[in-house]
Structure 1
Amino acid sequence: MQNEPLFTYRVEDGRQVPLLVWQLDRPALAISSGPLGGGIGVRHWVVNATVPMSYRRDDPEVHLGELADRLGLRGPGVGLLTGVDVTEVVATADDGVRVWATVGLGAPIWAAAEPAPTPAPAPAPVPAPASGSVQHVGTVNVVALLPERLGDAALVNAVATITEAKAQALRELGLPATGTATDAVTVLCPPDGPAAPYGGPRSRWGAPLARAACRAVRDGGALPIVPWSHR
């Protein structure tokens, strides 16, 4: 299974827009909350695609499928979107586990916040910032690669472990939040072999996964990342 993503670009509105692409040398068992290829199943590739801050498509799965076609990707895969320039990806490793995170923390939330008393208005397109100003985006995408197959329950637990580690990273950054409203997680592992039964933060693979994910989100959150469309 390929261990490093490929940086590439697509042309949209006359500009080159970056993507991260994992072209797996053999299919992987995956669990994902991404808009394309979410759920549990065998996947052949992963794409983490930058989009402008003004992105307003309501069919992200279709858009990601179009991008995959343009890249010549075949078979089912996972697609993620972010306003972060994905060339700012942070890669970490711990005891055989690999993690990549693109981190935008400009729209932090508490997961269990009380609902707003009145419906919020639809967001307006985000204008370009004034010269010299910085506007951060609010999506954290995490992709993790494990060297041993996990059972289905362990895959679910691995997603929870990454989410807990992300919340720990935000605490260590001093940010009063558990994440953003648009975060996504993808975990990949071999599709065959004996299945490890646990993915919690004290399990064989959950422990290094938690450490690597926490470090990736913490390090990514400390970067002064500028939205791609404003560069």
Structure 2
Amino acid sequence: MLSEPFLTSRVEDGHDLPLLCWRAARPLRAVSSAPLGGGLGPRNWVVNATVPMSYRRDDPADHLAELADRLGLTGPGVGLLTGVDVAEVVTADDGGVRVWATVGLGVPVDAAAPAGPTGWSPTADPGVPVAPRVGTVNIVVLTPVRLADAALVNAVATATEAKTQAIRELGRPGTGTPTDAVTVLCPPAGPVEPYGGPRSRWGGRLARAVHAAVLAGADGHDVAWSDRPA
């Protein structure tokens, strides 16, 4: 249904940078908060690309589309960016739900942080503090059953709750990072599951898998990718 991610690399601005790519045998239903391919709809692939912490492009969707084109990917897909090494991807399974996570928690923040001076961010909300060097937690989820639209949206909330639970258990301040993204994919056909909350059958499995992946991914792998030359 969805391949295991393969690891490759590319050279950009003097940096040798890794990226992960998943391919679907046929289009999957998806919901995502990613800069490329966000929203609801069919998706054929997912890319998760490392960028240096000096990254300053303000067109991440165009950048990711360029990377997908280099890989020969066609049709709609999902593109994610992170400042951590995607080779450190962590996989977790629970009852048929599979999760992949790249975890950077160098500077977690509270979602409802008070207004104040801002750091740089291509999507910064004026008046909201943003750390100038943030980590990113990118989560990709595959369920073996078709989820209704509402269940897909609920699954994103469930994944976020599970991530925050893991951050709390790690003793880190904050609820996440300003650049975290979640993608949930499922089959396009079959009986429809209406619920994706943490106490639902599939939402519970998703939550446990995300929780396990974030805990494992933060175990020594939350250092940002350095700006080292190729």
Q: Deviations over 1:31-79 (max 9, x none)?
A: 0000000000000000000001100000000000000000000000000
* Cα displacement (A) at 1:137: 4.7
The amino acid of 1:47's aligned partner reads V
Identity of aligned residues (%): 69
The answer for unaligned runs of 5 or more in structure 2 is 122-132
> Hey, what does 2:37 align to over in structure 1?
37
**Aligned residue for 2:99?**
99
State the match for 2:159 in structure 1: 162
Distance in 2 (CA, whole Å) between partners of 1:78 and 1:29 is: 11
* Count of residues in Structure 1 that have an aligned counterpart in Structure 2: 217
* Paired residues of 2:108 and 2:176 also in contact (CA < 8 A): yes
Q: CA 1:46/1:96 → structure 2, altered by over 3 Å: closer, same or farther?
A: same
- Is the 8 Å Cα contact of residues 84 and 137 (structure 1) preserved in structure 2? no
Residue 46 in 1 paired to residue 46 in 2? yes
* 1:75 alignment counterpart: 75
Partner residue of 1:191 out of 183, 188, 192: 188
TM-score (norm 1): 0.90
Match of 1:201 in 2: 198
Paired residue type of 1:25: A
Return the letter of the residue paired with 1:97: V
Shift in alpha-carbon separation, 1:121–1:31, aligned structure 2, 3 A: closer
- Kindly report which structure 2 residues correspond to 1:1-231, keeping only aligned pairs within 5 A, or say none: 1-116=1-116, 119-120=117-118, 122=120, 137-230=134-227
**Structure 1 position 229, deviation (Å):** 2.8
List gaps (5 residues or longer) in structure 1.
124-135
Distance in 1 separating the partners of 2:67 and 2:227 = 22
* 2:16 alignment partner AA: Q
Q: CA deviation at 1:230?
A: 4.5
> Which stretches of structure 1, 4 residues or longer, exceed 3 Å deviation after superposition?
none
The SS at the match of 1:109 is coil
8 Å contact from structure 2 (residues 134, 178) kept in 1:
no
Give RMSD over aligned pairs.
Answer: 1.4
Q: What is the one-letter code of the residue matched to 1:34?
A: A
Q: Distance in 1 between matches of 2:189 and 2:46?
A: 19
Deviation of 1:196 (Å): 0.3
Cα offsets for 1:139-196 (capped at 9, x unmatched): 1000000000000000000000000001100111011211011100000000111210
* Secondary structure of 2:185 counterpart: strand
In the alignment, the residues of structure 1 paired with residue 90 and residue 2 of structure 2 have an alpha-carbon distance, to the nearest angstrom, of 17
Q: Given residue 151 of structure 1, which amino acid in structure 2 is its aligned partner?
A: A
Query: In the alignment, which residue of structure 1 is the partner of 2:125?
Result: none
The amino acid of 1:112's aligned partner reads A
CA displacement, residues 107-161 of structure 1 (integer Å, 9 cap, x when unaligned): 2111112111xx43547xxxxxxxxxxxx85110000000000000000000000
In the aligned structure 2, how far is the partner of 1:120 from the partner of 1:206? 35
**CA contact under 8 A between 2:91 and 2:101: conserved in structure 1?**
yes
Measure, in 1, the Cα distance between the counterparts of 2:220 and 2:119: 31
- 1:15, 1:171 → 2: CA distance? 34
- TM-score, with structure 2 as normaliser: 0.90
